[in-house]
Amino acid sequence: MLLKNKVAIITGAASERGIGRATAMCFASQGARVVILDLDEAAAQKAASQLGEGHLGLAANVTDPDAVQRAVTHVINTFGRIDVLVNNAGITQPVKTLEISVSDYNRILDVNLKGTLLMSQAVIPVMQKQGGGSVICLSSVSAQRGGGIFGGPHYSAAKAGVLGLTKAMAREFGPDQIRFNALTPGLIHTDITGGLMQDARRHAIIDAIPLGRLGRAEDVAHAALFLASDLSAYLTGITLDVNGGMLIH
Ligand code: NAD
């Protein structure tokens, strides 16, 4: 049991085939008490109950500072501590540079980047008091290779921002023993593309992956488990690629 008695908040974990849900299942199987935080309360509660006894489902929009703070207070009132935060909530949009409207830009940047900041700001004081913690932030291979998978340039920018934010927080809060690390998944088979990716495009991507397949949500969950657990106790500020070799650099 790598996470026995640890309390882990995972944002965006209600999506049934998503990375957050797979991470929630993986963490629960390793002894964690899991908090599923997502937009819809009923969906979050249902996802939490499917993990078994002793888990919690809460509604919060990660772009809303008050909602984020309320959710974190609820977790503290329920479990008394927070050991792990996975900043997983994210959205994307397949558009090109000249098609990005200001509202598209705001939406994509807000959920992916501002949400990561707000959630981190809410849990850091708790982790400081406890003497440490682990925060895992979902970036993307799109940040490293300049998109070209599915999301638009604003998504690449948001996810590149997540990398910078994660590294800067790792530097700032290392002395508090709070570790911040980023995951950069390649193309993972989930619902984030909303079925909009065409088969021909998918096959072209697979042809360029040395391991010869798309990623599974569990592949990312297992990497998150490593970063959440004490197995990675001396790692902070790292970027862990989970991409089947799509980007070897
Ligand atoms: P998904 O669409 O299956 O799940 C995303 C979840 O985030 C949903 O449950 C959604 O309700 C939630 N969410 C959206 N906006 C929110 C908000 N404002 N507040 C709270 N929750 C919100 O997506 P996924 O593929 O599992 O992606 C998870 C993360 O991994 C995202 O950050 C994504 O950018 C990143 N990622 C995914 C891939 C991929 O190929 N699937 C690749 C690289 C990175």
Give every CB contact of residue 153 below 8 A, 6+ residues apart in sequence: 96, 97, 100, 146, 147
Say yes or no to pLDDT of 200 above 90: no
Beta carbon of 91 within 6 Å of any ligand 1 atom:
yes
Task: Give the mean pLDDT of 84-109.
Answer: 98
How is 181-242 classified by DSSP, letter by letter?
EEEEE-SB-SSTTTT-S-HHHHHHHHHT-TT-S-B-HHHHHHHHHHHHSGGGTT--S-EEEE
Task: Give the mean pLDDT of 123-146.
Answer: 98
Phi, psi of 22 (to 5 degrees): -60, -35
Closest residue by CA, ligand 1 atom 10: 12
**Distance between CA atoms of 53 and 72, rounded to whole angstroms?**
20
- Span 213-223, pLDDT tens digits: 999 999 999 99
Say yes or no to pLDDT of 2 above 90: yes
**Of the residues 92, 113, 192, which should be mutated to test ligand 1's pocket, given the most ligand atoms within 8 Å of the CB?**
192
Q: Rounded to the nearest whole angstrom, what is the distance from the C-alpha of residue 111 to the centroid of ligand 1? A: 9
Q: For the chain, where are the E strands, in sequence order?
A: 7-11, 33-38, 56-59, 84-87, 133-138, 178-185, 239-242
Q: Is 155 a catalytic residue?
A: yes
Residue 202: the pLDDT is 86
Residue 194: the pLDDT is 85
Closest residue by CA, ligand 1 atom 18: 61
Beta bridge partners of 35: 9, 56
Kindly name the residue from 155, 166, 178, 240 that is annotated as catalytic: 155
Residue 229: the pLDDT is 98
